[in-house]
Amino acid sequence: MAADTRPKLPPPKLPPLRDVIAAHGLQASKALGQNFLLDEQLLDRIAAIPGPLEDQPAFEVGPGPGGLTRAILRAGARLVAVERDRRCLPALSELSEAFPGQFRVISGDAMAVDARAEAGEGAHIIANLPYNVGTALLIGWLSADWSPLPWWSSLTLMFQMEVAERIVAKPNGDHYGRLAVLSQWRSDARIAMRVHRSAFTPPPKVMSAVVHITPRPAPEGVQLKHLERLTAAAFGQRRKMLRQSLKGLPGALEALEAVGIDPQRRAETVSVEEFVETARVLGRL
């Protein structure tokens, strides 16, 4: 097929987001965990975090009035978005018309939508996640089949600062726990941007941050189910020594001994690599 040599058209001129919100009578819903971002420059910076998006598949959860959506579309992505709040659909429909063939909206609950089937292989997931389902969605994406990589190319996600810190945490800190291990054992996670509460409408009570996660090939010989059981037991009683917290998990103490981890240590001192090695041994027992 011959390359498309037609000149790229400039992005369509869109009305200010505040005007869109006013025209459609949209108010952020506390019940749906909504907080709208209206700063177009900030939104463009978030959309730039994954890298070049020109003609790349992308997936967004909870676009609301379409602030981040605009930025992703301006970057050239082929975007699929899932919106539960039907009040926002007319505003999003206007974006579909402004970016013909580039944007599709699904009316539904992101927790029930098959993102892989809808967005396609290699999609970049970019979202200002609703606070009430953000962690659950993240865990679902991190638990995807890895063969040798997951179906998504990257995750660029807005969280409350506390959740972001838990995702990127290192051992020996209060934020380090199961979410850090799950996020880091076969992917790289970093805080790409901190966002002040005043950037949102309405302002939330806490600060936020954008986390960027890129997958790596999974360590060989380790199954997610063994790592999940191990970390659930270890961090379920995080202030106790491992010999106490892991005694109810068959084979766990034997695996610790085989790896050479002192059972008097606490879970928060065990590195991601040590959890991975222990889970590898546990899977063989």
Residue ranges of the binding site for S-adenosyl-L-methionine: 35, 37, 62, 83, 109, 128
The two tokens of residue 93 are 């429909």
Rama region for 191: left / alpha / beta (φ>0; ψ in -120 to 50; rest): beta
Residue with tokens 């009035």: 65
CA distance 90 to 226: 45
Q: From residue 20, how far is each of 13, 17, 76 by CA, in Å?
A: 13, 5, 22
Q: In sequence order, which residues have a C-beta less than 8 Å from that of residue 168 and are 6 or more positions away?
A: 180, 183, 184, 189, 190, 191, 211
**H or E element: which one contains 280?**
helix 272-284
| Coarse DSSP helix, strand, coil percentages of the chain, rounded to the nearest 5 percent | 40, 20, 40
Residue with tokens 């997936």: 59
Provide the 8-state DSSP code for 141.
H
Q: Please give the single-letter amino acid code of residue 97.
A: E
Query: Which residues make up each annotated binding site?
Result: 35, 37, 62, 83, 109, 128
Secondary structure (DSSP) of 43-84: HHHHHHTT---TT-EEEEE--TTTHHHHHHHHTT-EEEEEE-
